[in-house]
Amino acid sequence: MAESTAARPKSKAKGLDPARADEHRSWLRQMLLIRRFEEKAGEAYSLGKIGGFCHLYIGQEAVAVGSLAALGPDDYITCSYREHGHALARGISARAVMAELFGKAAGCSGGKGGSMHLFDASLGFLGGHGIVGAHIPLATGMAFAVKYRNTSQVAVCYFGEAAVNNGAFHEALNMAALWKLPAIYLCENNRYGMGTALERASALYDISERACSYDMANEVVDGQEVLTMYAAMDRAVQRARTDKLPTLLEVRTYRFMGHSMSDPIHGHYRTREEVEDQRKRDPIAVWSRRLIEAGLMDEAGVRALDKEVLEEVEDAYRFADQAPDPEPDELHQDVYANG
Amino acid sequence: MAAVTYRDALNQALREEMARDDSVFLMGEEVGVYQGAYKVSRGLLDEFGPMRVVDTPITELGFAGVGIGAAMVGLRPVIEFMTWNFALLAVDQLVNSAAKMRYMSAGQVGVPAVFRGPGGAALQLGAQHSQAFESWYAHIPGLKVVMPATPADAKGLLKSAIRDDDPVIFIEGEMLYNTKGEVPEGEHVVPLGQADIKREGSDVTLVCHSKTVSVALKAAEQLGSDGVNAEVLDLRTIRPLDAESVLASVAKTHRCVVIEEGWPFAGVGAQVVDLIQREAFDELDAPVLRVTGADIPMPYNKHLERAAKADPAKVTSAVNQVLYRE
């Protein structure tokens, strides 16, 4: 049971296509941006500049970056509360995300959403949602709207493996399959729902097999390999756009940090050794190595990229720190359409 | 004007709004092939097809969420709950998703959806099928709560609810579906947030909504023959509450009884009483009294059930108290 989920299955991607070098390098940049952003967010949280809950994405960067790379600009995205990485990968600026974490008016949700409720409707980024599993039916509804309007968009829903034991997951996937909706349910299996290991919460170890209940296409994906993630997502996107059918992707990944900033990285529920072992498959190190081996980048290039994103994150931090709070009269705005 | 049933008035509203706006669709259990558990959606499947009149599995949380997701990207779903008792399974979606989306997104994403179906008790359906939940939803900022008492209001308010850009909780009455009343021909829209005087009076205000409007009217009739002229004020919309109309009526009569079907603790009436004592304290000649359902799960036995419900006798008794006639 303690078997490393992130290590299997083996990557399906072999060589890299030189024609896509720019895109491949951009994925590394995005993953680095998320990593450095999250490290800075952790620091800001410790300084009291970010309040409430703050769930970091460190360790899972390849999932958001690889999967979102397969989407188009009109597609719909919903996430759980661990969504800083998805927001950045979708193209919300580091400034707007950091400012939201700081609760500032310039944040992507006007300082009213916070870490768990990032929105940018112009990018189809329709929320971080704070109740485990509850956003899964929303994505089904967005996919329903796509079918209703007969467009070629897809609706993607990101959630953790703990959400699959929730009734909302079952209800949402059943309807998506029943009605043949262009939805992609992307389960980020990071092995732990807070401190409860998958095998202590789910009677079925292989989450992908749950799709069989709905006669739904499914796939197990190595989430530490950004190209593998992209390729699997691309297949699911084609299935949704062309065949108008949903997919359940079980993406095996690992959270390197605690559940939230208030939680320990290891302790009662997992060992330090396990975390250290998983860190050997750090998705950024894995992808950097691939790029270097393929001759698409060198060590100096990776360092330069890292320096560039560090500066972007520092800029976002300064921006968020100095940005004004929402005006007091914002308190009562946006409750209803007419104020 | 033609006399139509409450059920058919709702049906007209749905048909007219679906014909007017392609983005309006109806979804719920048995709304299509079966023609609606209470026949509110009769004929709509034939007229609008299965993409716009959508039968769902029995999955309240799921299809409420589907409606909210569709509304987030611009459709205007009307989600039918077979009854509001079953909608308890969807409360998380209504409270955490529908009500808060606009605020959490700082106005970027609204939820223009209507959630409708019958609420409250019918006859001998027992504890789990006989509950009035309007105060639960009225408690939630971001939701609107609408409860028509007559066929004309049912039609006019449902049309407004469908056109509204916010999530609307639209609670009908199973016992009202067969009631008949005059409904204006042609376009008939009743704005949300406006109470309606169903009977003018000068001695006491009876604040009521939904099924208790007929209870109040019957009580007013009895009181009339006893020389008491009661005003019956139908709230129609619970949230936003039409405070102005409540206060204007109390300023006229100086006495008030608030009637509701639901349980007394933290009920809609408690909110109305709070309003009156804050804003019209000096107008009052007596404490405001409330008539509610009994503070118990609903019993099955018909005599016990009758005893648990608000009725005209309880209202006239309360009126006699505020008039110091008892």
Q: Are residues B33 and B119 in the same domain?
A: yes
Residues A113 and A100: beta-carbon distance below 8 Å: yes
With respect to residue B190, please indicate whether it lies within any of the assigned structural domains.
no
A210-262 residue pLDDT tens: 999 999 999 999 999 999 999 999 999 999 999 999 999 999 999 999 999 88
With respect to residue A320, please indicate whether it lies within any of the assigned structural domains.
no
A12, A16, A17, A22: CA torsion to nearest 10: 120
Question: Does position A2 have pLDDT exceeding 50, yes or no?
Answer: no
Spatial distance between the Cα atoms of B77 and B93, rounded to a whole number of angstroms: 14
Q: Which residues contact B317 (CB under 8 A, 6 or more apart)?
A: B326
With respect to residue B124, please indicate whether it lies within any of the assigned structural domains.
yes
Q: Are residues B116 and B163 in the same domain?
A: yes
pLDDT for the residue numbered A121 = 98
pLDDT for the residue numbered A10 = 47
| Parts of chain B with a pLDDT under 70 | none
Q: Are residues B158 and B221 in the same domain?
A: no
With respect to residue B254, please indicate whether it lies within any of the assigned structural domains.
yes
Q: Which of B56, B88, B104 to mutate against chain A (most A CBs within 10 Å)?
A: B104
With respect to residue B191, please indicate whether it lies within any of the assigned structural domains.
no
Q: What total number of domains does chain B contain?
A: 2
Spatial distance between the Cα atoms of B17 and B112, rounded to a whole number of angstroms: 14
Nearest to B168 by CA among B194, B134, B195: B134
With respect to residue A325, please indicate whether it lies within any of the assigned structural domains.
no
With respect to residue A339, please indicate whether it lies within any of the assigned structural domains.
no
Domain range enclosing A50: 21-314
With respect to residue A133, please indicate whether it lies within any of the assigned structural domains.
yes
CATH code for position B36: 3.40.50.970
Q: Which residues contact B182 (CB under 8 A, 6 or more apart)?
A: B1, B2, B3, B151, B152
- Work out the percent of chain A whose per-residue pLDDT is above 90: 93
Q: Are residues B135 and B49 in the same domain?
A: yes
Q: How far is B138 from chain A (nearest CA, A)?
A: 14
pLDDT for the residue numbered B98 = 98
Q: Are residues B164 and B236 in the same domain?
A: no
Q: Which residue, B148, B183, B218, sits at the end of a domain? A: B183
Spatial distance between the Cα atoms of A80 and A96, rounded to a whole number of angstroms: 18
Question: Does position A101 have pLDDT exceeding 50, yes or no?
Answer: yes
Residue B119 belongs to what H/E stretch?
A: strand B114-119
Spatial distance between the Cα atoms of A247 and A245, rounded to a whole number of angstroms: 7
Indicate the pLDDT class of residue A13, thresholds 50, 70 and 90. Answer: very low
Question: With an 8 Å Cβ cutoff, are B107 and A333 in contact?
Answer: yes
Q: How many other C-beta atoms lie within 10 A of the C-beta of residue A203?
A: 6
Q: How far is B176 from chain A (nearest CA, A)?
A: 30
How far is CA B179 from each of CA A283, B12, B41, B269, B293, rounded to the nearest angstrom?
Answer: 66, 15, 17, 25, 22
Question: With an 8 Å Cβ cutoff, are A129 and B106 in contact?
Answer: no
Q: Are residues B272 and B157 in the same domain?
A: no
CATH code for position B314: 3.40.50.920
Give the DSSP letter string of A274-304. HHHHHHTT-HHHHHHHHHHHTTS--HHHHHH
With respect to residue A250, please indicate whether it lies within any of the assigned structural domains.
yes
CATH code for position A257: 3.40.50.970
Strand partners, B146: B170, B237
Mean pLDDT of chain A: 95
Q: What residues of B are in the A interface, CB distance below 8 Å? A: 25, 51, 56-57, 59, 61-75, 77, 92-93, 96-97, 101-110, 112, 141-142, 144, 164-166
Q: Helices (DSSP H) in B164-204: which residue ranges?
A: none
Mean pLDDT, to the nearest integer, of A195-209? 95
Residues B56 and B107: beta-carbon distance below 8 Å: no
Mean pLDDT, to the nearest integer, of A187-215? 96
Nearest to B213 by CA among B250, B268, B176, B178: B176
A282-310 residue pLDDT tens: 999 999 999 999 999 999 999 999 999 99
Give me the active site residues of B, please: 60, 129
With respect to residue A106, please indicate whether it lies within any of the assigned structural domains.
yes
With respect to residue A71, please indicate whether it lies within any of the assigned structural domains.
yes
Q: Are residues B161 and B26 in the same domain?
A: yes
Q: Are residues B47 and B167 in the same domain?
A: yes
Q: What total number of domains does chain A contain?
A: 1
Spatial distance between the Cα atoms of B219 and A124, rounded to a whole number of angstroms: 55
Domain range enclosing B207: 196-322
Spatial distance between the Cα atoms of A61 and A253, rounded to a whole number of angstroms: 9
pLDDT for the residue numbered A262 = 87
With respect to residue B286, please indicate whether it lies within any of the assigned structural domains.
yes
Reported ipTM: the value is 0.97
How far is CA A4 from each of CA A8, A63, A128, A161, B205, rounded to the nearest angstrom?
Answer: 7, 17, 28, 15, 71
B11-37 residue pLDDT tens: 999 999 999 999 999 999 999 999 999
Question: Does position A6 have pLDDT exceeding 60, yes or no?
Answer: no
Handedness of CA B29, B173, B10, B3 (dihedral sign): positive
Q: Which residue, B141, B158, B183, sits at the end of a domain? A: B183
Give the DSSP letter string of A174-241. HHHHHTT--EEEEEEE-SEETTEEHHHH-S-S-GGGGGGGGT-EEEEEETT-HHHHHHHHHHHHHHHH
Q: Which residue, B156, B183, B210, sits at the end of a domain? A: B183
Q: Which amino acid is at B290?
A: R
With respect to residue B63, please indicate whether it lies within any of the assigned structural domains.
yes
Q: Which of B91, B105, B109 to mutate against chain A (most A CBs within 10 Å)?
A: B105
Q: Are residues B222 and B74 in the same domain?
A: no
State both tokens at B218.
């019957």
Question: Does position A1 have pLDDT exceeding 70, yes or no?
Answer: no
pLDDT for the residue numbered A15 = 73
pLDDT for the residue numbered A339 = 67
